[in-house]
Amino acid sequence: MEVVIAPAEELAVLAADTIEALLRRKPDGVIGLATGSSPLQVYDELARRHAEHGLSFAHARGFMLDEYVGLPAGHPERYRNVIERDIASRVGWAAELVQGPDGLADDVPAACAAYEAAIAAAGGVDVQILGIGTDGHIAFNEPGSSLASRTRIKTLTKQTREDNARFFDGDVDAVPVHCLTQGLGTIMAARHLVLLATGTQKAEAVHQLVEGPISAMWPASIMQMHPHATVLVDDAAAGRLQLAGYYRQTYASKAAWQSL
Ligand code: F6R
């Protein structure tokens, strides 16, 4: 696992560099998409590169991490609409090339199985962008999630619903109780994991992810088992890392030929 501690703008550039490198070597590369605040600067940077340098998403495929259950198709906070707004529409990404779990499905297990099959049929995810919840979730794999889980329905914790109430005019009761989410096993099958975290509210979750024991209590800690995981954090989110000095020294002395 590589930990990079840098200002948020630099982290966004590094993540965008990783996606750009993928699309230059593999135009039909598969990108895993997170919603929420953490990837927004990455999406801004990709939109800029699309507008100014013609970075093309014409053949790329996108798979979202998760979706709320029950939000109507036109709801602005439905994750499919959020992804359309935050990234897809800004980079000319055709709607049929970006998929998410179907939060309105009548047959939830079938929809989850179909989503797993779609990811597999696309050849798997090349670069997975991730955020982390204050309770250590990635996607919506809340504490207690099976470390081998696949796409399924989950119940959001009170903490996560409170954290996300800011997207629902501060009304925690408006935040859905259930979601469909890629499992930890699904995420671990992606070839490169790139997690972004900023702010002191993420510091404990980042510490547990990087330095804690691998445990379902801190679901992101499963990333310690991934052969290619990158954790991009600002000073505040790095605030509880015991080996922060070592991570800084390692990154500063990295060979020029090494990418993330
Ligand atoms: C969203 C997702 C979540 C968020 C996490 C952090 O698709 O998978 O795991 O990444 O809740 O959210 P923000 O970035 O809003 O702090």
Q: What is the pLDDT of residues 143-166, one digit of tens each?
A: 999 999 999 999 999 999 999 999
Using a 10 angstrom Cβ sphere, with 0-12 exposed, 13-18 middle and 19 or more buried, the burial of residue 72 is exposed
Element (H, E) at 139: none
Question: CB-based contacts of 251: which residues, under 8 Å, 6+ apart?
Answer: 2, 3, 4, 5, 6
> From CA 93, how far away is CA 102, in angstroms rounded?
19
Q: Is-contact 208 135, C-beta < 8 A?
A: no
Residue 138 Cβ inside 6 Å of ligand 1? The answer reads yes
Q: How confident is the model at residue 253 (pLDDT cuts 50, 70, 90)?
A: very high
Q: Of 11, 31, 33, 38, which is best to mutate to test ligand 1, by the most ligand atoms within 8 angstroms of its C-beta? A: 38
Coil, strand, or helix at residue 65? Answer: coil
Position 58 scores a pLDDT of: 98
Q: Of 63, 65, 160, 200, which is best to mutate to test ligand 1, by the most ligand atoms within 8 angstroms of its C-beta? A: 65
Position 61 scores a pLDDT of: 98
pLDDT tens digits, one per residue of 58-67 = 999 999 999 9
Options 137, 163, 207, 234, the catalytic residue = 137
Residue 37 Cβ inside 6 Å of ligand 1? The answer reads yes
> From CA 123, how far away is CA 232, in angstroms rounded?
26
Position 185 scores a pLDDT of: 98
Element (H, E) at 230: strand 229-233
Residue 131 Cβ inside 6 Å of ligand 1? The answer reads yes
Is the overall model pTM greater than 0.95, yes or no? yes
Options 67, 86, 126, 135, the catalytic residue = 135
> From CA 213, how far away is CA 220, in angstroms rounded?
11
Known catalytic residue: 192? no
Position 117 scores a pLDDT of: 98
User: Which residue, 201, 198, 188, 185, is CA-closest to 233?
Assistant: 198
Q: How far is the CA of 145 from the centre of ligand 1 (A)?
A: 16
Known catalytic residue: 142? yes
SS (H, E, C) 14-58: HHHHHHHHHHHHCCCCEEEECCCCCCHHHHHHHHHHHHHHCCCCC
User: Which residue, 128, 158, 119, 165, is CA-closest to 142?
Assistant: 158
Residue 36 Cβ inside 6 Å of ligand 1? The answer reads yes
Amino acid letter, residue 36: G
Position 51 scores a pLDDT of: 98
